[in-house]
Amino acid sequence: MLKIENYSSNILKNINFELKNRENFIILGSNGAGKSTLAKLLSGITFSTNVTLQGKNINKIESKIRTKLINYIPAKLEIFDEYITLDEYLNLSKLHSLLESKNMLKLLELEHLKNKPCKELSSGEQQLTMLATAILHNAKITIFDEPTANLDPQKSRDIYALLKSNILPSKIIITHDLNLAYHLGYDIIYIKNGAIGFKGGSKKFFNESNLNEYFGTSVRLVDDGVFSGV
- Segment 94-120, tens digit of pLDDT: 667 778 888 889 989 999 999 999 989
- Per-residue DSSP letter, 7: E
Q: What is the per-residue pLDDT for 76?
A: 83
Q: Where do the DSSP E strands lie in 29-112?
A: 51-53, 56-57, 70-73
pTM value > 0.95: no
Is 165 inside any structural domain? Answer: yes
Is 144 inside any structural domain? Answer: yes
CATH number for the domain spanning 6: value is 3.40.50.300
Cα-trace Rg, the chain: 18
Count how many Cα atoms sit within 13 Å of the Cα of residue 201 in the half-sphere of its side chain: 2
Nearest to 127 by CA among 61, 188, 180: 180
Q: What angle separates helix 98-107 from helix 123-137, to the nearest 10 degrees? A: 140
Is 66 inside any structural domain? Answer: yes
Count how many Cα atoms sit within 13 Å of the Cα of residue 191 in the half-sphere of its side chain: 27
Q: What is the per-residue pLDDT for 101?
A: 86
CA 190 to chain centre: 14
Q: What is the per-residue pLDDT for 172?
A: 97
CA distance 168 to 152: 23
Q: What is the per-residue pLDDT for 209?
A: 81
Is 169 inside any structural domain? Answer: yes
Residues of the chain falling short of pLDDT 70: 80, 94-95, 216-230
Is 117 inside any structural domain? Answer: no
Is 133 inside any structural domain? Answer: no
Domain count for the chain, please give it.
1
Show the domain range for 211.
2-74+138-228
Is 120 inside any structural domain? Answer: no
CA distances, 148 to each of 79, 81, 107, 156, 173 (Å): 19, 24, 16, 6, 10
Is 124 inside any structural domain? Answer: no
Q: What is the per-residue pLDDT for 219?
A: 65
